[in-house]
Amino acid sequence: MPSQYTVGVDEVTVDDPFWSPWIERNREVTIEYQYEQLEESGTLENFRRAIEGKSGGFQGMWFQDSDAYKWLEAASYELAKADDPDLRERVDEVIDLVARAQEDSGYLNTYFQLVEPDNRWTNLNIMHELYCAGHLIEAAVAHHEATGETALLDVAVAFADHIDDTFGDEVDGVPGHEGIELALVRLYRVTDEERYLDLAQYFVDLRGHDDRLQWELEHSAAIGGASWDDGALIPAEGGGSLLLDDEGEYVGAYAQAQAPVREQEAVEGHSVRAMYLYAGVADLLAERDDAELRAALDRLWANMTEKRMYVTGGIGSAHRHEGFTEDYDLPNESAYAETCAAVGSVFWTQRLFELDPDPAYADLVERTLYNGFLAGVGMDGEEFFYVNPLASDGDHHRSGWFTCACCPPNAARLFASLGQYCYSTAGGELYVTQYVGSHLSTAVDGTAVELDQESALPWDGEVTLDIEADGTVPVSLRIPEWAADATVTVDGEEVDHDGSGFVRLERDWGGERVELTLEQTAEFVAAHPAVEADAGRLAVERGPLVYCAEAVDNERPLHHYAVDETGEVEASHDAGRLDGVTVLDVDATVPDPDGWDGELYRPVDETERENTDLELVPYYAWDNRDPGAMAVWYRRA
């Protein structure tokens, strides 16, 4: 069965005033920098030692192989867009290491090959063997699609065959960290081997039925120096702790194994694991109908977006287990909101759109891309947030690399494949889902289409599209949820739209120009009353961007400011600040400092407040200048 994903990175070329500098930094700085980190962290050395048949000497986290695989995936996406001899040489070098480290059986995991060769597939919950295999397969598919070569794909196929031969026969179990599920569907789509789809189905169906996860926890020694602490298993080098119930029994929620997927009611546990699992389920649904699985995804997405998601699109509020807690528990300064979780949310939500082209899905992809994800990457391309709080006292900063370095290469592969999220051909229509300047060359139900897009987002709402096609093609344009008003014209003639979230245009396209004007106004937003952290507070959005206040832009401590929601908001573009941003000045008040000398407390009626402005910049841009406090939510005046 052909994939529903028919718009690939090789068919979309991004040329956008906002996104192109990020993508160019990713290509020219980040990918090279991350290759150097693979060397410095010992990731590539682990493969060399495995090739030489050595034992011991493993460096890094036990899932360190996955960093190399994600880097390969990102680099392959870049090779799909333009052949870079230096990058190709790097890619070929890493692929050669990976291929030569693989055993004759197809097995490949340098931690077990070097450290615990007799314990393979014995601790699926903790040891990430299937997680690493998933990232290998994803990298192999990306490289094959980019180059047409099979060197890495052959490695992935041999490993997938080994896994298929092992599970359901010698071993029954599911991974603690998901990722293999979506990878197997991607492998099926390039090989047409049904057994890979069956194996993905096996892992999805067994989850929540598998007693191995509990057994492994009870019988695990200190894995890599891991230890029990306050009722949870803490990996020695960081990472998440495992969720137990009040009696200390493992309930599976940390790894989304608290119930079969079809019965799950709420997003639980480690947020990245959840996103990868649900993205895999969505991929499976694109190939095989399953009403119960589909209903489960609908419930889970609704729970996440309505009760467990930050205004930035970030997810996962708890540091302890890097994940979800309970409905409306969304603290700001202690928010976790891992960058990888934002990436995973984009993966899952885009796949949901492919199943059902609902504009709400595309709206969330946009919110997450511009806010929850983009904040995780510094403007130099060499520093990253693992954790993305919505308030800071000034001591939270990006780092160049991490002991658990999952986020930097995850960011790299999303930047490198951004074109995949701008358009969709689901259901035999062309959807323009993200307004990012780009050129699209694709086919819709066999009809060739060429589309050129120019976009002024996120600073201005002007978008133009020039469309040509060999026949009649329906084109649906998303009207973002934030657009206060929207005007659509075709060659200057205005087109009515019904407020459904899409404008559908169907005609023989012969170079017509479509113009959208999406009105951007700053909007004050409040959180659900059950969100204790935001009670009596508001946030500010403009277009797709969430804004924040930084101490560097404001004279008074941020906690002094109370925003007047009835006041004016002035928007002005500052080309010299933060690579060029639209700055917002909102009416606010601050305490009058007079009369406080020698007093700690005073009657309220003896205090005054002064009118002032609070200056805001986009949330994604914070912590790129002098250190200082930051806040997304402000007291209401």
Residue by residue, DSSP assigns 491-514 as TTEEE---SSSEEEEEEEEEEEEE
Q: Tell me if 319 sits within 8 A of 291, measured CB to CB.
A: no
Largest Cα span, the chain? 82
pLDDT for res 229: 38
Q: Is 532 helix (H, G, I), strand (E, B) or coil?
A: helix
Domain residue ranges in the chain: 9-421, 423-518, 524-636
Angle 352-355-360 (CA atoms, 0-180°, nearest 5)?
A: 45
* pTM score of the predicted model: 0.94
286-332 confidence digits (pLDDT tens): 999 999 999 999 999 999 999 999 999 999 999 888 999 999 999 99
For the domain bounded by 423-518, which CATH number is listed?
Answer: 2.60.40
For the domain bounded by 9-421, which CATH number is listed?
Answer: 1.50.10
Catalytic residues: 322, 406
143-190 confidence digits (pLDDT tens): 999 999 999 999 999 999 999 999 988 888 999 999 999 999 999 999
pLDDT for res 498: 85
**CA 517 to CA 406: how far, in whole Å?**
39
pLDDT for res 226: 41
Q: Is 554 helix (H, G, I), strand (E, B) or coil?
A: coil
Kindly state the helix (H) or strand (E) to which residue 549 belongs, with its residue range. Answer: strand 545-550
Mean pLDDT by 10 residues, the chain (637 residues): 39 95 94 94 97 95 95 95 93 98 98 96 90 97 95 98 93 92 98 98 92 54 38 39 57 88 96 97 97 98 98 95 95 97 97 96 98 96 95 95 88 94 93 97 93 98 97 96 95 90 95 96 97 98 98 97 95 96 98 94 94 98 97 96
The four Cα atoms 268, 270, 275, 276 give a dihedral, to 10 degrees, of: -130
**CA 412 to CA 33: how far, in whole Å?**
11
Angle 565-571-577 (CA atoms, 0-180°, nearest 5)?
A: 125
Q: How many CB atoms lie within 10 A of CB 579?
A: 12
pLDDT for res 209: 87
Residue 258 DSSP label:
S
pLDDT for res 239: 39
pLDDT for res 3: 33
